[in-house]
Structure 1
Amino acid sequence: MSQETDTIYSTVQTAVADFKFDDKVANVFPDMIKRSVPGYSHIVANIGILAEQYAQPNSRVYDLGCSLGAATVAMRHRIHAPGVKIIAVDNSEAMLERSAQFLDAEDSPTPVETKCADITELDIRQCSFAVLNFTLQFIAPEKRLQTIQRIYDGMLPGAALVLSEKLRFDDPTQEKLLAEHHHDFKRANGYSDLEVSQKRQAIERVLLPETADDHLNRLKAAGFSIASQWFQSFNFASFIAIK
């Protein structure tokens, strides 16, 4: 399947609008995410491996904030437990419409149901594995604990949650250093200084990162018995929590 190159921020914009997951972003998202998030492909591949381990027979697996379905596809490739159904959820109709092109091309016995919904209000049940892959950071901070709690409450014993997020750091020196490394990563992947600057302006008002401790403490507060960071690349990290 052909993929369009991300040039959304390549020309000067007199007023940079807040970032949103619209048709324009959906059309270039695979290129955008690959060139913008260090370690993204590694995280997605390992989500598949973890899903294989934790998916229980006759249960549900949730991809919450599924975008174009990369994590869903990775899980479909690895899940072998019988009776498992993947629920792929996003609140962007543009992203879900384009995700159908990727999911329909997959030959897998594991069924997928897509839902256009707000995950903060989603009914989650009979869940053995869930993924929040760079999703929580776009949810209002005051709704994050209740969202994690909703997931936990809908999980089976022994179920697992993978949470991937952009991080901020309390130490200003560390915050500045890793932000600069992230921008260097984007330049190395072909983005210009203009694109880096304008994308930062667009996203900093809607993506509100937290510290690793914020995430770990919230997971424990929701009731997870184990919560651990398993991956980090610059200021991007992934955590796993076990019920």
Structure 2
Amino acid sequence: MNYVIVGVKSKEVLHEAPHKSELNNWRLQNDVNEPTTIILKGKLEQALKPESVEELRNKYYAVDYWQRQLDETTKAYHARIAVKTRQLIEQGYKRNDVMAELGINTGLLSNVQTEYGILFKKRSTSTVVERRKKMIELLKSGMSKQDVAKAVGRSVDAVQEAAKVYGFKIPRQRSHYYDIPHRLIKNGESIEFESAKKTAEFLNISTYKLKYDIDNGREIKGYKVIRLEKVGKADD
């Protein structure tokens, strides 16, 4: 079992030996510039734990420059945020981007904007109009609202808003699922229907329940239901 001699201020291990007497001799023979203590090596980690908040801070505190620093006044902190915010705006950052970049909330940013008269650049109205016109063109070409949203890099809600502004009624897109033929099997006999709708009507259930039960491997009213591949009509 070994012992170590540790500097009280530096918390560094200066020497190690199997006996305390050896460490005392080492201490006498070496010019040590700080108080020392001899500790059982197995208890070294516990002995070196910081004993105060100040020690913990000095050892582990990582400065996040965009958070308020110790002993920094609110005025000085807001001034720093204002300078950085203006720099980010010049680089093209939007309000949400600035908050994400600096790790601050909307309340703090609003206060800084009010105090220092900071304004974000508004989106050009002409750009919005042009984008909406493009959405309408794509909708008229037959694209779904989901595909239009992807094409212009906006949300489906934005596409629907554009349609509302221009009075364009988006056609309801009918799922191809309804046209898929199905086969019902019961007691060794089978019946085929040309579509999901016809199958659901025969079973007296909704097409939603038909799809749900098939997807979950359930029989419906004693029938095993199988979706079939849709085969196109052959040319005469």
The TM-score normalised by the length of structure 1 is: 0.17
From the two aligned structures, give the one with the greater strand fraction.
1
Structure of larger gyration radius: 2
Higher relative contact order (CA 8 A, sep 6+): 1
The TM-score normalised by the length of structure 2 is: 0.17
